[in-house]
Chain A
């Protein structure tokens, strides 16, 4: 009964977690440590948290509504066309996501289904065979046919894994392009003379616009609205499917096909189903593409499209529906913006500055490089101007940034030859840079950066079709280094 001898209670660790949360040190607290670390800091935190409170369906509605308003904001048909393209690419990315993101099948033949859908629609509703089927009938027929084609491709290749599947499906994509390019003079039994199926390299032009029960989609904005409706239906459908037994089985088979099979999932049938779903979505998108373009051509469905599509899915985060749509939007819109040399220049220098900020540590080093490059440029310009004035005779146009660069970058009147030379030097400098260390590396970084600017201003800026791909590639490399799981993907673990 001696109260004085009562042991003082040991100090409890402070409970810093939220009300009702687990106590520090408890199993659950340890297991949830990841959540606390990843909570965002700084001024973006309230915005991010507010965004997360918005339910997904409301986000979807908001995005679709905003996209539908594009024609009211802009008078330019070009802008609306870009919007339609963005939605179409979003649809394509959603379909590819089923095959690649959910089922984990590396399907490189995906664009062929898109092409098939477009060609099928074009053949059924143009003067090619004088077929002008009603759209309400054509679309279901084409979608079902695309799904069946997906089944046909899946049947022989469902047992192939990884790289082997990729090769077989890539072959299929190539066959499609070769076939459409050459199927303009095919001899068919019981028909006199060769039959023109696809119009060969010239494609099929004069495709009918879509019309539903007498309402014709005559303007680009009609197609925007129609494709947004299709997009909404597809994304909602795929979301619901992903949250069902089929979606779970797809993801299980992506994680471990053998375990999935032994846990009662028919792996082969599920693979075929994924192929069919991907193909159906691609075929559906193809029909809209054919009618909004009023024509189809073989080169529309070649490898560059495939690569762009994969870039979208990977950039956005394979497996995440909003992610792949975001990826599609980012890439489609940046490719359009980069057609303008001014924007491209901004991105080029911006990427260099961001790269320096990210990788140059400590900041004194960064300051040395930045100041060194600027000084190096003025000195080089001054020396060249004095020795060989012709090399600085050209002028850089294009607004503010261009004006700033005018007295800094060596720029002759006809710049291609200098640009080519500088390019070779730049490659050599980059190789040397990767081999050097320490002070020498720092010293060489300065002329390398200047060379990059010279190459850009003298050579690349005149080739927007090349540079935009180049820039996009550089952007992708940087993004993938920073976020390997994609913009909205969840980082996946392969082996633990």
Chain B
């Protein structure tokens, strides 16, 4: 690994009461890499995302973005530094329009103050136009699905798959460098799953994002990952290429139970 990692976790631990959810986890993601995190339910995958984005503070260890620690920063600051995420359970702004959902996420890298907005100063107008164009550009990324008449419809009118797409568009509008996708293919049919697989590839090649993704669908994981990290009970049990991890004894054990128990 010649390139310095863009996102790095060093010995991160987190427990809720007596439950050790993440235990001394080391993880790194290099520039323009797609890393998948897999593991059975309750392995600590979403907690990992919550730790990176600042929803929880780690009990021990350090989280670095470009060598700078993110620990202790409020979530909106972390997002401003370039880490954006989607949610496993969709959390869109349901009663706002599709376009407004994306425009709202541009808050972090825009400046117009309250007075400028109320007086519609030239700077505020220019910025507003920039936000609008940014939102349209991000929505265009998804082809026809989030275009045209959809822009002005409330987000709650979207189908499930389109909501997942809108969440990704919203995360993109924060101008991140690292995208954290929490189960982007959950609840999608095979065709949509295939589309999402291609889309994640495009996010890297066209969008230039570095991507950390949690996914249960092994076809997606196989299709996109440069590297796969397997978690179980908050501990990294395997890391490497998809083939290496998928055939790793400990991973098979974590998903299916011990061999001994199965053969007896």
Contacts and interface: CB of A to CB of B under 8 A. Distances in A.
Interface in B58-79: 74-76, 79
B235 to A, nearest CB: 26
Given A32-B149, A264-B108, A267-B76, A259 B91 contact: yes
Interface string A220-264: 000000000000000001001100111111011001101111111
B60 to A, nearest CB: 23
B95 A262 contact: no
A265 interface: yes
A73 interface: no
B104 A249 contact: yes
B55 A266 contact: no
B52 to A, nearest CB: 11
Contact of B128 (A34, A244, A264): A244
A492 B85 CA distance: 26
Contacts, number: 114
Contacts of B36: none
Given A240-B118, A248-B104, A263-B79, A256 B91 contact: yes
Interface in A253-284: 255-256, 258-267, 273, 277
Contacts of B229: none
Contacts of A249: 104, 107
What secondary structure prevails in chain B residues at the interface with A?
A: helix
A493 B117 contact: no
Interface in A131-165: none
B210 interface: no
Nearest to A251: B96
Counting chain B residues whose Cβ lies within 8 A of the other chain, the interface size class is 35 or more
A28 interface: yes
B157 A31 contact: yes
A252 B154 CA distance: 13
A262 B124 contact: no
B109 A264 contact: yes
Interface in B100-144: 100-101, 103-110, 112, 114, 117-120, 124, 127-128, 131
B138 to A, nearest CB: 12
Contacts of A264: 76, 79-80, 84, 105, 107-109, 174
Interface residues of A, number: 33
A496 interface: yes
Nearest to A259: B91
A496 B76 CA distance: 26
Interface in A455-496: 490, 492-493, 496
Interface of A: 28, 31-32, 34, 237, 240-241, 244-249, 251-252, 255-256, 258-267, 273, 277, 490, 492-493, 496
Given A28-B149, A492-B95, 16 more contacts: A237-B118, A244-B117, A245-B103, A245-B106, A245-B127, A252-B101, A260-B104, A261-B76, A262-B75, A262-B76, A263-B104, A263-B171, A263-B174, A264-B79, A264-B107, A265-B107
15 contacts: A31-B149, A31-B157, A34-B157, A240-B119, A241-B117, A248-B107, A256-B93, A260-B104, A262-B76, A263-B104, A263-B107, A264-B80, A265-B104, A265-B107, A496-B94
